[in-house]
Structure 1
Amino acid sequence: MKHLLRFALLLVTIHTSAQSTQKPPLHGKNWMAITGKPMAATAGAMIFQKGGNAVDAACAMLAATCTMWDVLSWGGETQALIYNPKTKKVIAINALGVAPTGATPTFYKSKGYSFPPEYGPLAAVTPGTAGGICHMLAEYGTMSLKEILSPAMEMAAGYPIEAQTANSIERNKKLIKDWPYSKAVFLTHPGEEREAPEPGEIFVQKDLLAMLTKMVEAEQTALKNRKSRKEAIMAAYDRFYKGDIAQEFVRGCQEQGGLITMNDLAKWKPVEEEPLHVNYKGIEVYKLQPWTQGPMLLQSLNILENFDLKSMGYNSPEYIHTLYQTMNLTFADRDFYYGDPAFSKNIPIKGLLSKEYAKSRAREINASYNKANSQPGDPYPFEGKKNPLLSLLKIRESLGDTSNKEPERFVPKHDAVTAMNDAYQDRLWRGTTSVEAADKEGWVVSITPSGGWIPACIAGRTGIGMSQRAQSFVLDSVLSPFNVIAPGKRPRVTLTPSMALKDGKPYLSFAVQGGDTQDQNLLQFFLNVTEFGMTVQQATEAANINSNQLWLSLGGTALKDRQPRAGSLLLNSNTPDKARQTLKGMGYSLSFSERTSGPVNAIYFDWKHGSLWGGSSNHGEDYGIGW
């Protein structure tokens, strides 16, 4: 009987891998450009058609998405992985802003906060995206800043705003009215019943256009003075972070109660880092350092290597349970051990990514039920050290202890966003877009930018929405000792681009939006391709699960807003009743949605045929163009 069940599950797997998709796969021989909005993907295509490489195109798409407020703006942050075909290495770009002068736990607690606020000037870290674009373009691109900003500047002069952004402005207009510069930009019909732009209305951003024009002017002046391409781009960088753009940004920020100073901007800079990676069955998977949640995916792969996932069958109860339990363990580690490594050399990342540590964590998984109070492990012995945080771990156990509580039973509804408590689900999924680009020369770029989303507080007459990323800090070391807010420190973010190499060559480049669900969906996308043989488009559309048994990284003003929800599991509406009953018997509280893929964007490198495959999920407005 057991063999028959395994055979049936294999048939399900084969059927799944042969499934049709709602969106066609993208094919290209020369280049691929994918991002969160159709017009922004067009910006990337325009750059490719002018002879730019994948870095040029990615920078143009990033600039366009910021201008379109695609859940980010010019005051946000940029996290990127770049494959350099000349060195055959993956480069990590850290263009995340830092907490400003005066941003201390004492300051925020004096304001009555349990976490830094979700919105407004006190939620802001220093802007990173402008610097990230300048750095990537100067070091690895081929074109001028003027060329790659041209589509964004044309859009700032006026573009037909899409319904998603226009309706987001209308929904959030009450908050927007609290900030005079935001009100002036976003509410184009003040006093009318609908004060936001209509979908399709030409949306003009004069201040933003003026800011971008200043950056281009600085570059062009430097070129006229016989500076190199790189030096000229960095002249634009200096005008943004040290010149008149910075002055107006700081003035507008402080006028509205923010903390960012000129010195904060001048001291900040993007950083190139060594990416982290693990080998999963011959595939090298790359993520950013633990100032992101990215290593959580690497830890998960290490644990899952100890199980025969393929024989379980795609989305069988056994497979879902194994994934969920693995993510519980790695999220518990993320929530406690991750943070800005520039502020501490004692983050145990070597132990966390140890294969032996993964084996020890895998042994904690019970095959029969959900462990409702998964705790961080002890990775220090796996790098030859003693854990200095054992006393904190004991205190912390009680904060998220839901083991003696009945899991909350959510009423299944039509849409994932309303399937659970609206505010909680918004925090779980909040923010960001993704950018994927590749070219025939071998350059590959994966970016997960974010910050400054609507409702954004615009800093003065710059047109720049300030980041809200400070909310990802904590104010108490018991919650996350390496992620306590401090001036000059980067918060531990959910933003997490991904790249994989096979046989020393690019294999997959992939990223997704969606807060704490990002590495959940990316993990499943990767397994869909590697374990279940799906094409890249099938894998972006395939049904995923989402866990809520984790500490939320965004939103909420009290501990209870962010606490883990034990056993809370989002499933696809097509999950068979027998599987539902099995999972309920294992201690899960189920909710459902008709679409659970997550908005994944990805590129697969078909070395057999010398071509590129692009995948862009049917989950949102993500869009790609290949040639």
Structure 2
Amino acid sequence: MRKLFLLLLISNYSFSLFSQQTQKPVLHGKNWMAITGKPLAATAGSMIFQKGGNAVDAACAMLGATCTMWDVLSWGGETQALIYNPKSGKVIGINALGVAPTGATAEYYKSKGYNFPPEYGPLAAVTPGTVGGLCLMLANYGTMSLKEVLAPSMQLAAGYAIDAQTANSMERGKQMIKQWPYSKKVFLPHAGEKREAPEGGEIFVQKELLETLTKMVEAEQQALKKGKSRKEAIMAAYDRFYKGDIAQEFVRGCQEQGGLITMQDLANWKPIEEEPMHVNYKGIEVYKLSQWTQGPMLLQSLNILENFDLKSMGYNSTRYIHTLYQTMNMTFADRDFYYGDPYFAPAEPIQGLLSKEYAKFRAKQISMERNDPLTGPGDPYPYEGKTNPYMDVLKKRGFNMDTTSTQRRNFAPAHDVRNEAVAAVDADYMDRLWRGTTSVEAADAEGWVVSITPSGGWLPACIAGNTGVGMSQRGQSFVLDATLNPFNVIEPGKRPRVTLTPTLALKDGKPFLSFAVQGGDTQDQNLLQFFLNIVEFGMNVQEACEAANINTNQLWLSLGGSKVDDRKPRPGSLLLHDNTSEWVRKELRQMGYTLTFDDRTSGPINAIYFDWKHKTFWGGSSNHGEDYGIGW
């Protein structure tokens, strides 16, 4: 889901080798920077900074605000975060992804006729994670109380002027919303009228959500009165959500509507603080969350791409596009087969996947002449000193698993997509490919940096009882067939492999970039190109946010589609920007690509660049959506 364009600002700033003007100006600040998916939510972050909070406090406030505003997510969704701690000089990963509930087995969903868990409704839900993730981050690394950080969210829940994009999303989804009584009550305040959802600019009130947030703050304040520490008090609010009366109502409402989540599921779930993955690319340490996200796909791509002279190819030249596309196809194929929850057996071969030697071998497999429509997973196991236990499965699926030869096949060229029937199918595919969420970026002068890609519980959402909390739909990212991915088969207590993927990069031991984007399976495609735009092609942070990208569709979709065919890769399908030259188009067609075009080839990217020469922040926020930033 791509956000509608809201704000168009013309900047005369010109810095890069392209001497281009950006549609939004670079944000500059020396004290702090707050960027997220809605202007009001960015304002929530600025309010916390102005009250003396650090970047973690502000990020939590923005996270809460975006959930309250239904910025393609809800309080019942999931949170993935990276935090740079200036006191330790380390990057910390926050895993606040929910798990499959009791009874959520592959056999259960197959018995109901599913090829994948459903896209919407109670049976798509994993346990809520965002509340726990927010509480954990705030308790461990923030400075303020939950009451202070949630104040903007509570004001929004009490009533705010809803933006037209969100209001129209409610109206478009009203037929599905009407299936769920608690959702209908919240999202369709004008039931029976021609327009049943709020109008843009109307004051949108969420009484039940406000009550839920109030209960959490009450639990915190009562704990403080009893002499508990700030951290203990925040976790008292956490306990009320996951073990107390809020949990009881959430579970009741979930099960009433056919969901599986139990009180025990909520009580057993915990957010996890973990060490992220990282690789070095030309002296820059790039950090991603581990293989429960698609984040390592970007790291694998950088390992492969460092074997090529990208700068000499030229930005978005035929050779550059081809090299990038082939690389991403390889790393997506690895993602689609080998990534999953590292806390469940079998163990993913992540050490081999991130091996520089494995990347060199994969780089040699790239044909520079043609697209390879049969690109499949590689074999990372030898790079861990092991034998691949899934070789027979991969061979039965038709993949060439020769780990000694780099000889590739030749393939016939494809053609431009012009047929309307084909385009209609592609429209459904692209909607699933691009489905988005929001992102949160924050930094302060003390050195704290936060990058978050939260999601889940997007519209049309099924609200759990009288909590005002929309349930996550992330269960659909599991598979039911182990031959598709033996590491990501649904089972109770397990996390699905998600697309959500914040990023931090350090240079010379200090923050260099913090960046994230919304857009489903395109997230790490967009972020990879954003990073290369800065590092290889000298763009500034706003230019890199706005720059034309390419998208590969030669991957298994992570979201949407009830049939296997809905999610299958589209070999050679390549999305280019409308401004791509005829010469490049011609060359790519001759190399076997099927081309489609759009004026937007990236989800909204939000980013912060750290200018250590001047000790300032440069903020970038894409021109493709409502995403917005404030710096000071």
Q: Is TM more than 0.5 here?
A: yes
Whole-angstrom distance in 2 between the partners of 1:424 and 1:198: 29
Say if 2:16 and 2:539, in contact at 8 Å, map to a contact too.
no
> Match for residue 618 of structure 2?
613
Whole-angstrom distance in 2 between the partners of 1:104 and 1:282: 44
4+ runs of 1 displaced by more than 4 Å?
Answer: 13-16, 402-409
1:14: Cα distance to partner?
9.6
Question: Against the structure 1 CA distance between its residues 433 and 15, is the aligned structure 2 distance closer, same or farther, given a 3 Å change threshold?
Answer: closer
1:397: Cα distance to partner?
2.8
> Match for residue 510 of structure 1?
515
Secondary structure, in 3 states, of the residue corresponding to 1:362?
helix
Question: Against the structure 1 CA distance between its residues 281 and 291, is the aligned structure 2 distance closer, same or farther, given a 3 Å change threshold?
Answer: same
1:189: Cα distance to partner?
1.0
Match of residue 499, structure 2, among 494, 499, 512: 494
Whole-angstrom distance in 2 between the partners of 1:373 and 1:409: 20
* 1:186-585 alignment, distance < 5 Å: 186-344=187-345, 346-397=347-398, 409-411=416-418, 421-585=426-590
1:188: Cα distance to partner?
1.4
Whole-angstrom distance in 2 between the partners of 1:37 and 1:610: 27
Q: TM-score, normalised by structure 2?
A: 0.94
* 1:146-157 alignment, distance < 5 Å: 146-157=147-158
Whole-angstrom distance in 1 between the partners of 2:181 and 2:51: 40
Whole-angstrom distance in 2 between the partners of 1:100 and 1:55: 30
Whole-angstrom distance in 2 between the partners of 1:406 and 1:323: 18
Say if 2:330 and 2:377, in contact at 8 Å, map to a contact too.
yes
Whole-angstrom distance in 2 between the partners of 1:304 and 1:356: 13
Whole-angstrom distance in 2 between the partners of 1:510 and 1:420: 32
The superposition leaves residues 37-75 of structure 1 with CA deviations (integer Å, 9 ceiling, x where unpaired) of 000000000000000000000000000000000000000
Say if 2:25 and 2:542, in contact at 8 Å, map to a contact too.
yes
Amino acid at match of 1:472: S
Question: Against the structure 1 CA distance between its residues 341 and 407, is the aligned structure 2 distance closer, same or farther, given a 3 Å change threshold?
Answer: farther
Question: Against the structure 1 CA distance between its residues 437 and 203, is the aligned structure 2 distance closer, same or farther, given a 3 Å change threshold?
Answer: same
Whole-angstrom distance in 1 between the partners of 2:321 and 2:445: 38
The superposition leaves residues 595-627 of structure 1 with CA deviations (integer Å, 9 ceiling, x where unpaired) of 224310000000001100000000111000000
Say if 1:403 and 1:566, in contact at 8 Å, map to a contact too.
no
Secondary structure, in 3 states, of the residue corresponding to 2:566?
helix
Question: Against the structure 1 CA distance between its residues 432 and 217, is the aligned structure 2 distance closer, same or farther, given a 3 Å change threshold?
Answer: same
Q: Give the unaligned 5+ runs of structure 1.
A: 1-12
Whole-angstrom distance in 1 between the partners of 2:503 and 2:417: 32
Secondary structure, in 3 states, of the residue corresponding to 2:312?
helix
Amino acid at match of 1:351: G
1:373: Cα distance to partner?
1.1
Amino acid at match of 1:389: Y
Question: Against the structure 1 CA distance between its residues 408 and 76, is the aligned structure 2 distance closer, same or farther, given a 3 Å change threshold?
Answer: farther
The superposition leaves residues 206-254 of structure 1 with CA deviations (integer Å, 9 ceiling, x where unpaired) of 0000000000000000001110000000000000000000000000000
Whole-angstrom distance in 1 between the partners of 2:535 and 2:424: 30
Whole-angstrom distance in 2 between the partners of 1:505 and 1:53: 18
* 1:102-141 alignment, distance < 5 Å: 102-141=103-142
1:408: Cα distance to partner?
7.9
> Match for residue 67 of structure 1?
68
Whole-angstrom distance in 2 between the partners of 1:575 and 1:308: 22
The superposition leaves residues 395-437 of structure 1 with CA deviations (integer Å, 9 ceiling, x where unpaired) of 23379xx999986853399xxxx88633211110113110000
Whole-angstrom distance in 2 between the partners of 1:278 and 1:15: 26
Q: Give the unaligned 5+ runs of structure 2.
A: 1-13, 401-408
Say if 1:101 and 1:488, in contact at 8 Å, map to a contact too.
yes
Match of residue 608, structure 2, among 593, 603, 607: 603
Say if 2:82 and 2:93, in contact at 8 Å, map to a contact too.
yes
1:50 is aligned to 2:51? yes
> Match for residue 9 of structure 1?
none
Whole-angstrom distance in 2 between the partners of 1:16 and 1:171: 43
> Match for residue 22 of structure 1?
23
Whole-angstrom distance in 1 between the partners of 2:234 and 2:358: 45
Secondary structure, in 3 states, of the residue corresponding to 1:170?
helix
Residue identity over aligned pairs, in percent, reads: 77
Question: Against the structure 1 CA distance between its residues 404 and 554, is the aligned structure 2 distance closer, same or farther, given a 3 Å change threshold?
Answer: farther
Q: TM-score, normalised by structure 1?
A: 0.95
Secondary structure, in 3 states, of the residue corresponding to 1:421?
helix
> Match for residue 84 of structure 1?
85
Amino acid at match of 1:341: P
Secondary structure, in 3 states, of the residue corresponding to 1:604?
strand
1:170 is aligned to 2:171? yes
The superposition leaves residues 485-523 of structure 1 with CA deviations (integer Å, 9 ceiling, x where unpaired) of 000000000000000000000000000000000000000
Q: Please, what is the CA RMSD of the aligned residues?
A: 1.7
Whole-angstrom distance in 2 between the partners of 1:347 and 1:595: 35
Say if 1:412 and 1:592, in contact at 8 Å, map to a contact too.
no
